[in-house]
Amino acid sequence: MLQLNYIRENRDAVIERLAVKNFKDVEIVDALIQLDESRRKIQNESDAIAAEANAAAKQIGDLMRQGKKEEAEVVKSQSSGYKEQVKQLTDKLAEVELALHNKLVLLPNLPHISVPVGFSADDNEVVLEHGEIPTLSEGALQHWDLLTKYDIVDLELGVKVTGAGFPVYKGKGARLQRALINFFLDQAAEAGYAEVQVPIMVNEASAFATGQLPDKEGQMYYVTEDDLYLIPTAEVPVTNMYRDVIVKEEQFPIKHCAYTPCFRREAGSYGAHVRGLNRLHQFDKVEAVQIVHPEKSYAVLEEMSSYVQGLLQKLGLPYRVLRLCGGDMGFASSLTYDMEVYSSAQERWLEVSSVSNFETYQSNRLKVRFKNEEGKMQLAHTLNGSALALPRIVASILENNQTEKGIRIPAVLVPYTGFEYID
């Protein structure tokens, strides 16, 4: 959530940056400024009346102690309306603050100055490409056919048990899943991320704090009777561990990783782009989260990007890094890098990770603060990244490593799988 003081003091710059995200409802900015002026006016008026009421109460007390009861009664009569006036102004202030809040949450985060202008994924900037795209032999299969050939993931059984987008992993497919999860967690531990195991359902306050609400209600599974949401990513519960917490500056950087299943309703139902493991309603992911000093957050973003790239290099997957344009960025992000791996059988790039800096957008909602060197409270910066999401990693491993002998397992995973080939 943007800070109201910043909006008021930087109106034109805010509107300019919102335009990079193709945000059209810029009239909200002026409405917020007007509501804030009303709020401050009401607050000042209420404070003034409260001060007069306090002065009158003191005067009445002094007069009573001096035995001037009649004069005290006159002052009491003159000040009798103060309490009601304060109540009315308090009620009015509450209405204005609610209106302020309801409009403020409609504004997305401001994009970093380096974010390219654009409207869709076609306008994203390719930062770098790494690795050689493998040349597959004639007759190479796409991963959804490989799943069936080797009987490692049963999509139809998932439809029977739950519905489309909920696969059942079997045999070596299940072991490959577990191997990737453990590999990613071990790598995160080596990189200094403290592992946590968190709930996979969160309350409304948690979903609001990290920006899922009110932006992504339609993408989240909602448990109506208990008023809980299934998490779309571990970012939500992990970051909310620090909601309403004042951290110490010497704790930075705070680094956590977590494995969770993730749930998203927007999986879609058409074409090769959503076929097989390309887009699921339930999938596994290891998430990395950092809470850092504001002066270090962009250096940390580059560090997190390099860390995810290191995982892809160890898996031997060709990949590229994209800097997302304004029109393709998330609501709460200030700058996002996407990592995509190349799927040789599908002959296209598949997103496997997003690494984002939210600056103070989440921390303002979370109220995660620290005392700076001057002793003043300051909002921390939050970042997170997929490290990594499994389905498209699995799809790429299967497609890129097809051999006559079977699917070759990346060497770094063999100690976790216990086998070198899926055959």
> Which residue, 395, 383, 223, 379, is CA-closest to 303?
383
pLDDT at 321: 98
Cα separation, 267 vs 373, whole angstroms = 46
**354 annotated as belonging to a binding site for a ligand:** yes
**287 annotated as belonging to a binding site for a ligand:** yes
Cα separation, 116 vs 308, whole angstroms = 22
Report whether 283 contacts 233 (CB < 8 A): no
| Lookup result for tokens 């303002």 | 364
pLDDT at 83: 83
Question: pTM value?
Answer: 0.92
Report whether 341 contacts 317 (CB < 8 A): yes
Cβ count within 10 A of residue 82: 18
**8 annotated as belonging to a binding site for a ligand:** no
**353 annotated as belonging to a binding site for a ligand:** yes
Cβ within 8 Å of residue 21, ≥6 positions away:
108, 110, 111, 326, 327, 329
Report whether 373 contacts 163 (CB < 8 A): no
Report whether 229 contacts 240 (CB < 8 A): no
**351 annotated as belonging to a binding site for a ligand:** yes
| Cα separations in angstroms, 381 against 29, 247, 296, 299, 343 | 23, 12, 9, 12, 34
**336 annotated as belonging to a binding site for a ligand:** no
As beta bridge partners, residue 291 has 254, 382
Query: Domains plus CATH for the chain?
Result: 4-104 (1.10.287.40), 121-422 (3.30.930.10)
Successive 10-residue mean pLDDT values, the chain, 423 residues: 95 97 95 96 93 88 89 84 89 96 96 96 97 91 96 96 96 98 98 98 97 87 96 98 97 98 74 80 98 98 98 98 97 97 94 98 97 94 97 96 96 98 97
pLDDT at 269: 46
**80 annotated as belonging to a binding site for a ligand:** no
pLDDT at 215: 78
pLDDT at 81: 87
As beta bridge partners, residue 338 has 322, 354
**264 annotated as belonging to a binding site for a ligand:** yes
| Lookup result for tokens 């990513």 | 233
**175 annotated as belonging to a binding site for a ligand:** no
